[in-house]
């Protein structure tokens, strides 16, 4: 019988840890979000992050800018948050509206306040398998989910579909870390030739391509663990990047959409923020 890997329980365990660490720290921990434009999905995600932060005792600062805000003004806001001592973590909600360069905005974030783990410095530490920086929130959440459900990763073949710096690239790196998951990793994407033949090799299949129904049952190895990162709206329903119904017949475990990876991303964001606050406090 296929096991359903929901994010609720492991996410709550992380939130409980974050709350304990905030109490032990003995200071206000602040998370600032920057939302540019009025994308409905982004607005929902930001509200969820603020709600989760409040529940663990974290202070939040909500910065909203109109979609036509110039690049320089967005970057100036980020720099002002860098200088604000009440802010321990900064999150710029992506995607940004057309006309804004997300790379230069992310580059403006102080790596010591990079709550989402997307600054080049943070990603560089992941590449080098070194500690001391924030780990990209969604990949970190997935790793903690695999650990929570005791999914064996050592020596397993992991196929990652997607190559964004938000999920795909850092996900593959974390799975490949010698001191961590120690998996054999194959990167694929929506234009990979004969994609089903590649995905069928996976003991662990992680799909983050943003294309509903990209992976179907014939492309899944019997007994594989399938992690669906996609969130797509189809006919007023939220669906992932995999055909959940058919794959549930062959996989040993699968994440639902919604309710799978999403809660883990938010929990990891909070975990990064308290870790950054602790590092700042230790540095004086």
Catalytic positions: 49, 93, 116
Residue 261 half-sphere exposure toward CB, CA atoms < 13 A: 23
Pair of tokens at residue 224: 């594989």
Check residue 215 and report its DSSP letter. Answer: B
User: How long a stretch of residues is the chain?
Assistant: 284
Token pair 């802010």 is at which residue?
Answer: 87
Of the candidates 232, 281, 273, the residue with the CA atom closest to the CA atom of residue 116? 273
Pair of tokens at residue 198: 């590649």
- The SS3 of residue 228 is strand
Angle of the 8-25 helix axis to the 261-283 helix axis, nearest 10: 20
């Amino acid at each position: 019988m296929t096991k359903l890997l929901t994010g609720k329980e492991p996410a709550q365990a992380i939130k409980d840890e974050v709350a304990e660490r905030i109490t032990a720290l003995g200071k206000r921990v602040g998370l600032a979000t920057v939302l540019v434009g009025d994308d409905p999905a982004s607005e929902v995600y930001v509200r969820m992050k603020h709600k989760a932060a409040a529940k663990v005792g974290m202070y939040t600062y909500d910065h909203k800018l109109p979609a036509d805000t110039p690049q320089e003004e967005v970057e100036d806001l980020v720099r002002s948050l860098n200088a604000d001592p009440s802010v321990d973590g900064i999150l710029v909600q992506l995607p940004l509206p057309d006309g804004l360069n997300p790379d230069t905005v992310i580059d403006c974030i102080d790596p010591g306040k990079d709550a989402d783990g997307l600054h080049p410095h943070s990603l560089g530490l992941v590449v080098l398998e070194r500690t001391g920086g924030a780990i990209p929130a969604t990949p970190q959440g997935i790793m903690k989910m695999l650990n929570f459900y005791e999914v064996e990763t050592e020596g397993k073949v992991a196929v990652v579909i997607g190559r964004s710096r938000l999920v795909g690239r850092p996900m593959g790196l974390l799975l490949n870390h010698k001191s961590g998951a120690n998996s054999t990793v194959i990167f694929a994407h929506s234009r990979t030739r004969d994609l089903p033949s590649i995905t069928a090799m996976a003991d662990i299949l992680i799909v983050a391509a943003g294309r509903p129904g990209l992976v179907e049952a014939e492309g899944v190895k019997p007994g594989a663990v399938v992690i669906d990162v996609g969130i797509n709206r189809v006919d007023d329903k939220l669906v992932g990047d995999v055909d959940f119904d058919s794959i549930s017949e062959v996989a040993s475990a699968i994440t639902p959409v919604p309710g799978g990876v999403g809660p883990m991303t938010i929990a990891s964001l909070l975990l990064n923020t308290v870790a950054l606050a602790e590092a700042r406090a230790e540095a004086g």
